Copies of this chain bind each other. A is one copy, B any other.
Amino acid sequence: MQTFDAVTVPTFILDEAIAQDNIWQMTQKASQLGVIFRPHFKTHQSAEIGGWFRQQGVSKITVSSLRMAAYFAQYGWNDITVAFPVNLREHALINQMASVIQLGILVEDAAVVQQLETVINQPLNIWLKIDAGYQRTGLPWQEPEAILHCAEAVRKSPFFTLAGLITHAGNSYHTPMEIIPVLFAESIQRLKFVQQTLQNAGHENVLISVGDTPGCSLSPSFSGADEIRPGNFIYFDAQQLMLGSCSFEQIAAVVACPIVALHTDRHEVVLYGGAVHLSKDTVKVEGNITYGLVCFPEGSGWSKPIPGAYVKSLSQEHGIVSIPESAFSRCKIGELLCIIPAHSCLAADLLGRVMTTSGEIITMFPGSNR
């Protein structure tokens, strides 16, 4: 119980052994299936945890913002893709970063490529962001002419190299487990179709990069892809568990929250742990919408989720947990509950630092604006 003894406030607790194993599993899978592994670091946002990947041979990474790229560049990462449609307003930082590392950015509009050309004076890897069906953003895969138009705009600039086609099949988050590999393979096939169009127009060496933890975890094959970019798999979370992307044993992180009040009449526990710690992302479990799965601390780790317990509501700092009677009687003010967050990326981002189950504090990217 040493770890938990040191917890006084809501704290992101990480089981390093599980996280290391999650990294190892995905690294091995990528290696065995012959794809480049470019993990997404937006989940952990930590130079030290990045080092765990490096030890397993990872040298290329993905991040979600240019400022996060700048943070990791300080720690020796020199091949970084910012997997977000390029933000023209940050052209100064793009130039600065591209002068020191191999920087990849995403574009999805020929006009944006032309605008970029007027402000960029450093070599830049350009990925075309393709919408393979998710409909969040990207050039629709069914429109190869528009994609080719964009590729041609890239070719015109002496600073730009067309690196490849990139997609994020985020629709996997709303798909039954057994369909996820089908969707994943379909995304790759759609990118292959686009790749062929580009190749016919003389664009060679256009890589195919795919992402998303559910697809990368559940697909037995990455056939057709050149690169994968999952991120969440290092921690997993309640959403991934419910999707079937991971087992309970693969969940590497919880948010430990002090119990500050008990309401015996309604079997509710009040936690110090609210929207500013867990985020207001949710997951549906046994018919309840919850902000996470509720566990007891157990040794230096945590128990399986308490059946029937759920995080009913979050205010700024309060979390209200509904717990069935038998488990409720084990809750004591001043002790902790461990919440497997609905979405670990957002909880980690909010908490801004990590405590391992062996009590070590791991710092993170101090946050975009801080």
Interface residues, chain A, with chain B CB atoms under 8 Å away: 7-11, 42, 64-65, 67, 84-90, 93, 108-109, 111-112, 115, 135-138, 170, 258, 260-263, 266, 270, 272, 275-276, 279-281, 313, 315-318, 320, 333-334, 345-346, 349-353, 366-370
Can you pick out 8 interface pairs between chain A and chain B where the beta carbons lie within 8 Å of each other?
A9-B67, A42-B317, A87-B272, A115-B333, A137-B260, A138-B261, A275-B346, A279-B280
Measured in the bound complex, the distance between the Cα atoms of B42 and A135 in whole Å is: 37
Closest residue of chain B to A6 (Cβ to Cβ) is: B89
Out of B260, B281, B367, which one reaches A85, CB within 8 Å? B260
- Shortest A319–chain B CB gap in Å is 10
Contacting residues, chain B, for A10 (C-beta < 8 A)? 368
B7 engages A89 (CB within 8 Å): yes
B333 engages A109 (CB within 8 Å): yes
Question: Do A260 and B316 contact each other (CB < 8 Å), given the known contacts A89-B8, A334-B89, A353-B370?
Answer: no
B320 engages A261 (CB within 8 Å): no
- Shortest A84–chain B CB gap in Å is 6
Contacting residues, chain B, for A93 (C-beta < 8 A)? 8
A333 engages B112 (CB within 8 Å): yes
B367 engages A316 (CB within 8 Å): no
Contacting residues, chain B, for A7 (C-beta < 8 A)? 89
Out of B138, B280, B349, which one reaches A281, CB within 8 Å? B280
Out of B115, B170, B281, B313, which one reaches A275, CB within 8 Å? B281
Question: Do A9 and B90 contact each other (CB < 8 Å), given the known contacts A260-B84, A367-B367, A370-B367?
Answer: yes
Measured in the bound complex, the distance between the Cα atoms of B320 and A85 in whole Å is: 13
B270 engages A275 (CB within 8 Å): no
Out of B88, B108, B320, which one reaches A334, CB within 8 Å? B88
Question: Do A86 and B260 contact each other (CB < 8 Å), given the known contacts A9-B67, A369-B353, A370-B367?
Answer: yes
B270 engages A85 (CB within 8 Å): yes
Contacting residues, chain B, for A90 (C-beta < 8 A)? 8-9
Closest 9 CB pairs of A and B: A88-B334, A280-B280, A85-B260, A8-B89, A137-B270, A352-B369, A85-B261, A352-B370, A64-B317
Out of B136, B272, B318, B367, which one reaches A352, CB within 8 Å? B367
Measured in the bound complex, the distance between the Cα atoms of B67 and A262 in whole Å is: 23
Measured in the bound complex, the distance between the Cα atoms of B334 and A115 in whole Å is: 10
Contacting residues, chain B, for A84 (C-beta < 8 A)? 260, 272, 317-318
Out of B42, B87, B109, B262, which one reaches A9, CB within 8 Å? B87
Question: Do A258 and B368 contact each other (CB < 8 Å), given the known contacts A281-B280, A346-B275?
Answer: no
Contacting residues, chain B, for A109 (C-beta < 8 A)? 261-262, 333
Known contacts A84-B260, A136-B320; 16 additional CB pairs below 8 A are: A8-B93, A9-B89, A10-B368, A87-B258, A88-B333, A88-B334, A89-B334, A109-B333, A112-B333, A136-B313, A137-B260, A275-B279, A276-B368, A316-B345, A316-B349, A367-B370
- Shortest A12–chain B CB gap in Å is 8
B9 engages A368 (CB within 8 Å): yes
Closest residue of chain B to A112 (Cβ to Cβ) is: B333
- Shortest A293–chain B CB gap in Å is 18
Measured in the bound complex, the distance between the Cα atoms of B125 and A102 in whole Å is: 58
